[in-house]
C-alpha cells in the first residue's frame, strides 16, 4: 500500500505541473486562470497527502504486488479524471456529471462530449481538453513504468517473477508488454511520441492551420483522442491528410515505430499487425465508398474509426447503415497493441478468430502431438491465449450489458450499441446529441470509457476491492 500511495502522489504532483500549459494559454488569451489554479491546488494537496501517508503507512515488505500494480493504473486514471473535472465544472454552470464526462472522455482519449457546443468554451479550456487526451494517450502509464523500473528507484521488488508480474500488469493499460519483450525502452517510446507530436504541429502549421489549432489537433490525433477546438471540422485536404497520417501513427504499434527509427526496414514493413490494420481499412474504405460515394469522407471516416480517434467530417447518423456498420466493426477491433488506440486490438481480435481453426487442427493431430498456436510465425503460450479469450469475452459482455442498459433508458438499439461501442473502444464517434442524454446513460458511458482505456482489468479489480471492503 505504501508504494501505491507514493506513486499516486507522484501522479497528482505531475498532473498539477501539466496545468502550466492551459494557464499559459489563459494568460495569452486573457481568460480566467482560477479554474486551472484551483484544480492544480487540489492535485498538489492530494499528491502531498499521498506521499505523507506513504511514509506513515507500514507496508511490510515494501513492494507492489501485481494486484496493486493493476490498481495503480486504474486509480491514476480515476483520480486524474476527478481532479481534471474541476476545471470543467468551474468554467460553466454544468452539472458534475457533465464535467466528469468531459474529463473522463479526455483522459481516456475517447472524444465524446457532453457539451452541446464547444464554440463558447475558453481557448485555454479547449487546449486543456486536448492536452488531457495527449496525456492519456501514452504519458501516464509510460511515466509510471519509467518510475517503477528506472535504475536506482525506491521500488524494491520481491523477485524477478514479481517484477515481471508487475511489469505485465502495468503494461496492460496500453499493451506495452510486447514492447518490453522486444527491448523497446520506455524512454524511447516517449521520445517517439514527442517526435510525432512536434512533427504534427509543424506539418499542420505548414498546411495553413493556425498555430493554436495545430497544437491542439496534433495532441488529439497522435493520441487517437478525437477532441477538436471548433464545432465545424476542417476541409483543407492537406490538413486532413496530415491528421490522417497522425491517426495512423498513433494507432500503429510503437514496436513498429521503433523498428522504423532504428532503420530496420524489413521488420517495419513486415510487421503483421500494422499491415493487417491497413488492409482492414482499405477493405472497409472500399465498401464505405460503395455505400457513400464520397472518397474523402469515406477514407477519412474509416481511418478515424479504425484508429479509434473519432473525428467526424459529417453527421454519423446521416450515413448509410452499411457505412455505420463498417465504422462499428473498426471501433470494436481497434488499432495495434503498444499504441495509443483503443478497441480489442488487431492482435487479440484475429487471434480469437484463428483459435477455432487451431483447435480443430489440434484435435485432428495424432495423440501427443504438439500443435503450437502461432501469430506472426511466433508461438503464443496457451496461458496467453486464455488471457486473450477471457479479455475478448469480457469486452463483448460489457458491450452487451452497456447496450441493454442504454436501451432500458429509452434509446434505440442502433444508438445504444453505437454509443457503447464508441465508449468502450475509446473512439468518440456519436450518432446522437449526448448533451441531452439521461444522467444514468452518461454514467454508463463514463464507466465504459474508463474500462476501455485501461483494458478492463484494473477497473474491475478496483470495483471488486471496493465491494470486498464494503462487505467486510
What one-character-per-residue DSSP string does 290-337 give? HHS--HHHHHHHHHHHHTT----SS-GGGS-HHHHHHHHHHHHH-S-T
What are the CA-CA distances from residue 402 to residues 235, 376, 429, 440, 442 (Å)?
Answer: 34, 34, 16, 11, 11
3-state secondary structure of 58: coil
- The set of cell numbers assigned to 60 is 511490510
What are the CA-CA distances from residue 315 to residues 188, 310, 312, 319 (Å)?
Answer: 39, 12, 7, 7
* Residue 239: count of CB within 10 angstroms of its CB: 21
What pairs with residue 379 in β-bridges? 374
3-state secondary structure of 375: strand
Specify the pLDDT at position 450. Answer: 93
Specify the pLDDT at position 255. Answer: 82
What are the CA-CA distances from residue 342 to residues 189, 224, 407, 452 (Å)?
Answer: 17, 8, 24, 7
Distance CA 104, CA 423 (A): 10
What are the CA-CA distances from residue 412 to residues 217, 431, 441 (Å)?
Answer: 32, 11, 13
Distance CA 38, CA 44 (A): 10
Distance CA 32, CA 244 (A): 34
- Residue 121's contacts (CB-CB under 8 Å, 6 or more residues apart) are 91, 92, 115
Is residue 117 within 8 A of residue 231, CB to CB? The reply is yes
Per-residue pLDDT of the chain (472 residues; tens, 9 = 90+): 777 888 899 889 988 999 999 999 999 999 999 989 999 999 999 999 999 988 865 544 455 666 777 788 888 899 999 999 999 988 777 789 999 999 999 999 999 999 888 888 899 999 999 999 999 987 654 644 454 444 434 443 344 444 444 444 444 433 444 444 455 567 777 889 999 999 999 999 999 999 999 999 999 999 999 999 998 899 999 999 999 999 999 999 888 898 899 899 998 998 888 999 999 999 999 999 999 999 999 999 999 999 999 999 999 989 999 999 999 999 999 999 878 999 999 988 988 998 888 888 888 888 777 788 877 777 777 777 888 888 999 999 999 999 999 999 999 999 999 999 999 999 999 999 999 999 999 999 999 999 998 888 778 778 877 777 766 6
Q: Which element (helix H / strand E) includes 378?
A: strand 378-379
Distance CA 110, CA 44 (A): 26
- Residue 115's contacts (CB-CB under 8 Å, 6 or more residues apart) are 94, 98, 102, 121, 435
Specify the pLDDT at position 308. Answer: 96
Distance CA 225, CA 422 (A): 12
Is residue 225 within 8 A of residue 343, CB to CB? The reply is no
Is residue 423 within 8 A of residue 402, CB to CB? The reply is yes
User: Does the predicted model carry a pTM greater than 0.75?
Assistant: yes
Distance CA 271, CA 319 (A): 33
Is residue 144 within 8 A of residue 7, CB to CB? The reply is yes
From the list 339, 418, 315, the residue with the least C-alpha distance to 138 is 339
3-state secondary structure of 33: coil
- The set of cell numbers assigned to 209 is 492551420
Is residue 303 within 8 A of residue 247, CB to CB? The reply is yes
Distance CA 440, CA 462 (A): 21
Distance CA 244, CA 96 (A): 34
Amino acid at each position: 500500500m505504501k508504494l501505491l500511495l507514493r506513486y499516486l502522489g507522484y501522479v497528482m504532483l505531475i498532473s498539477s505541473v501539466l496545468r502550466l500549459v492551459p494557464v499559459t494559454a489563459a494568460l495569452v488569451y486573457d481568460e480566467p486562470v482560477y479554474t486551472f489554479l484551483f484544480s492544480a491546488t487540489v492535485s498538489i494537496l492530494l499528491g502531498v497527502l499521498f506521499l505523507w501517508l506513504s511514509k506513515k503507512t507500514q507496508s511490510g515488505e515494501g513492494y507492489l504486488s501485481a494486484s496493486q500494480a493493476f490498481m495503480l493504473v486504474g486509480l491514476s486514471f480515476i483520480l486524474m479524471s476527478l481532479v481534471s473535472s474541476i476545471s470543467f465544472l468551474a468554467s460553466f454552470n454544468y452539472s458534475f456529471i457533465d464535467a466528469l464526462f468531459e474529463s473522463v472522455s479526455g483522459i481516456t482519449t475517447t472524444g465524446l462530449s457532453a457539451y452541446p457546443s464547444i464554440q463558447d468554451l475558453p481557448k485555454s479550456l479547449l487546449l486543456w481538453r486536448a492536452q488531457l487526451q495527449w496525456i492519456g494517450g501514452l504519458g501516464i502509464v509510460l511515466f509510471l513504468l519509467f518510475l517503477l523500473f528506472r535504475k536506482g528507484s525506491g521500488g524494491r521488488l520481491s523477485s524477478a517473477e514479481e517484477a515481471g508480474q508487475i511489469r505485465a500488469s502495468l503494461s496492460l493499460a496500453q499493451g506495452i508488454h510486447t514492447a518490453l519483450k522486444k527491448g523497446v525502452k520506455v524512454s524511447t517510446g516517449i521520445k517517439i511520441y514527442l517526435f510525432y507530436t512536434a512533427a504534427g504541429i509543424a506539418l499542420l502549421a505548414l498546411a495553413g492551420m493556425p498555430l493554436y489549432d495545430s497544437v491542439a489537433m496534433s495532441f488529439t490525433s497522435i493520441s487517437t483522442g478525437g477532441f477538436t477546438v471548433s464545432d465545424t471540422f476542417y476541409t483543407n485536404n492537406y490538413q486532413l491528410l496530415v491528421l490522417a497520417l497522425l491517426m495512423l501513427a498513433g494507432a500503429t504499434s510503437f514496436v513498429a515505430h521503433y523498428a522504423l527509427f532504428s532503420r530496420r526496414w524489413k521488420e517495419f514493413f513486415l510487421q503483421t499487425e500494422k499491415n493487417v490494420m491497413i488492409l482492414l481499412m482499405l477493405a472497409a474504405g472500399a465498401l464505405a465508398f460503395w455505400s457513400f460515394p464520397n472518397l474523402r469522407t469515406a477514407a477519412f471516416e474509416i481511418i478515424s474509426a479504425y484508429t479509434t480517434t473519432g473525428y467526424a467530417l459529417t453527421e454519423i447518423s446521416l450515413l448509410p447503415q452499411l457505412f455505420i456498420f463498417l465504422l462499428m466493426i473498426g471501433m470494436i477491433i481497434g488499432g495495434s497493441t503498444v499504441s495509443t488506440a483503443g478497441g480489442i486490438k488487431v492482435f487479440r481480435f484475429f487471434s480469437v478468430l484463428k483459435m477455432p481453426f487451431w483447435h480443430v487442427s489440434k484435435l485432428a493431430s495424432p495423440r501427443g502431438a504438439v500443435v503450437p498456436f502461432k501469430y506472426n510465425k511466433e508461438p503464443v503460450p496457451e496461458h496467453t491465449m486464455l488471457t486473450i479469450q477471457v479479455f475478448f469475452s469480457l469486452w463483448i459482455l460489457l458491450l452487451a450489458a452497456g447496450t441493454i442498459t442504454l436501451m432500458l433508458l429509452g434509446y434505440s438499439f442502433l444508438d445504444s450499441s453505437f454509443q457503447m461501442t464508441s465508449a468502450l473502444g475509446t473512439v468518440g464517434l456519436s450518432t446522437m446529441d449526448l448533451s441531452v442524454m439521461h444522467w444514468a446513460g452518461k454514467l454508463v458511458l463514463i464507466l465504459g470509457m474508463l474500462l476501455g482505456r485501461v483494458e478492463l482489468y484494473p477497473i474491475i479489480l478496483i470495483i471488486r476491492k471496493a465491494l470486498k471492503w464494503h462487505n467486510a
